[in-house]
Amino acid sequence: MFQVSRIPAARLLGAAALSFASLASLSAAHPAAAVGADAGAGARAGVPHGDHLTVTVRNAGPTADGTFELYCHPAGGSHPDPAGACAVAERDTRWGQDAFAPVPESSICTMQYGGPATAHVTGIWAGRPVDVTYDRRDGCEISRWNRMVPLLPEVGAPGRS
């Protein structure tokens, strides 16, 4: 007669639970992280990269204005701070939310002017297209801009150095 021991069955059940937990943690990662490991080498070979943004800044000052390419997973490109820029975009990336969302229309914003700086960000982030504009026309837009520093350049109040 065949006898089943409880110890091997418990080990098998524990191994199955551990495998399931490992798979669950992998599926919770940033969607582009899975692409990013292979995409870094591919981008250098001319194959499109997983997370790629083009940031065009105007009227923020002579050292901040320009068009910069940003690649993430791994960080690179012509952006002045690729690691910091990737980290700030990654920080606000959540399932079902837009990391680059505009200020909600129902927001009450302070009437202050943060200067003439504008930025246009286009590309692909977390597998979704990005085409967003930033400015500093009121308190809400200034806060929205500041949350994206260093993806966007740090801009002081007008008249201050």
Q: What is the pLDDT of residues 94-125, one digit of tens each?
A: 877 888 999 999 999 999 999 999 999 999 99
Closest CA relative to residue 138, chosen from 160, 107, 92, 159: 107
| pTM exceeds 0.85 for this model | no
- Name every residue whose Cβ is closer than 8 Å to that of residue 18 and which is 6 or more positions away in sequence: none
Query: At residue 45, what are phi and psi to the nearest 5 degrees?
Result: -95, 5
Q: What is the pLDDT of residues 71-84, one digit of tens each?
A: 999 999 999 999 99
Query: At residue 119, what are phi and psi to the nearest 5 degrees?
Result: -145, 145
